[in-house]
Chains A and B, each alone.
Chain A
């Protein structure tokens, strides 16, 4: 800090600096670290976008990851992680839920939050099924997993989700309550895979309300803006 022209000038400078510092410390600094993919970080990125909150969107290239992992900074040796004011949170849904709670996008009552969580975990079951289908190491397992996904996991879960959606304002709004929550955003991120990678299988065809919900979420200005601006990645 420069020695001022006069004590008054000094005082004025340090006053305005103090004001700047206070406003900076009111908002935590967020740093989200993941691969250069949508994947498990996209729910959190969507939450930041909808909340209009700035964050550092760190994308680690595959080649860099072994070194990064060896640094010991990742609690479970995995990404994504969120750093907030020096604290590290791992586990993608724990991160998303933390941000949703901070930004008022988690549901309003404990019961609403439970419904949001239920929806998010059900979607997670489908994600897991898709993973088993795409990343199985032998053809037999792959075929088995695909069969299970397409005939059991997706239909059962999407039927449940459509049912839950319909109980909320006839299914023409959002999953829970009167406004967008983390449940809708995670549904959006997840259904990107159905629309892109499962086009042939047309997995969403039997679910008109869910399909309309996806469009409705995409049409939200903050979501639309992020989807257009974000790095384009295959997954």
Chain B
């Protein structure tokens, strides 16, 4: 019986970084994916404090909030960065990826075409700022030929990867100006 249950919908979304952390660590987990109907039933049990997914269930304890989960798993399995400063850098990177995710979501849910275009322009600027910053942070670490933080893969790299899957699917050449 795996120790961890990662609970979400049948999508990559906000659960993917955590799934990637567990996979990178070689740790088996129960990859629970609810349909919308199943979730309505589950949610009604009151077992999920914020009534949201993803959640992690570990030894009977439920943790919500996607980044809290990913960070907890990363800390458990040595994928968080070694020093507090490295961990802070990793957090800074995953928070920047969250900004990218939120920007995308805002556009997705905007019904008004004119507003949508405005948001898309704003988002374009945001992506440029964030990717430039990430490239700088990366190249500051071993010339950019390794990973974001320290000497190995961390939750920062995995969160970046998960987020880029979305951004690259709408702009395949997005990373062309960011060689590292």
Q: Which residues of A contact B (CB under 8 A)?
A: 75-77, 84, 87, 89-91, 93-95, 97-98, 101-102, 110-111, 113-115, 117-118, 120-122, 128, 156-157, 160-161, 163-164
Residue B133 lies at the interface, judged by CB distance under 8 Å to chain A: yes
Which chain B residues lie closer than 8 Å to A114 at the CB level?
A: 56, 63, 68-69, 71-72
Residue of B whose beta carbon sits closest to that of A97? B91
Q: A122-B64, A161-B49 are in contact. List 17 more A-B contacts (CB 8 A).
A: A75-B133, A75-B136, A90-B133, A93-B91, A94-B95, A95-B88, A101-B87, A102-B84, A110-B76, A111-B72, A117-B71, A118-B64, A118-B68, A121-B67, A122-B65, A160-B49, A160-B51
**A98 with B88: CB separation less than 8 A:** yes
Which chain B residues lie closer than 8 Å to A113 at the CB level?
A: 71-72, 75
The answer for the CA separation of A110 and B85 in the assembled complex, in Å, is 17
Q: Mark B67-91, 1 if CB is under 8 A from A, else 0.
A: 1110110011000000011011101
Q: Give min CB distance, B117 to chain A, whole Å.
A: 15
Q: Give min CB distance, B82 to chain A, whole Å.
A: 12
Q: Which residues of B contact A (CB under 8 A)?
A: 49-51, 56, 58, 61, 63-69, 71-72, 75-76, 84-85, 87-89, 91-92, 95-96, 102, 129-130, 133, 136-137
Residue of B whose beta carbon sits closest to that of A122? B50
Q: Which of B76, B95, B130 has the most CB of A within 10 A?
A: B95
Which chain A residues lie closer than 8 Å to B136 at the CB level?
A: 75
A97/B88 contact (C-beta < 8 A), A113-B72, A117-B72 known: yes
**A115 with B63: CB separation less than 8 A:** yes
Which chain B residues lie closer than 8 Å to A118 at the CB level?
A: 63-65, 68
Q: Give min CB distance, A14 to chain B, whole Å.
A: 31
13 examples of A-B residue contacts, CB within 8 angstroms: A75-B92, A89-B85, A91-B91, A94-B91, A95-B88, A98-B84, A111-B63, A114-B71, A117-B68, A117-B71, A118-B65, A121-B65, A161-B49
Residue of B whose beta carbon sits closest to that of A87? B85
**A76 with B49: CB separation less than 8 A:** no
Which chain A residues lie closer than 8 Å to B87 at the CB level?
A: 97-98, 101
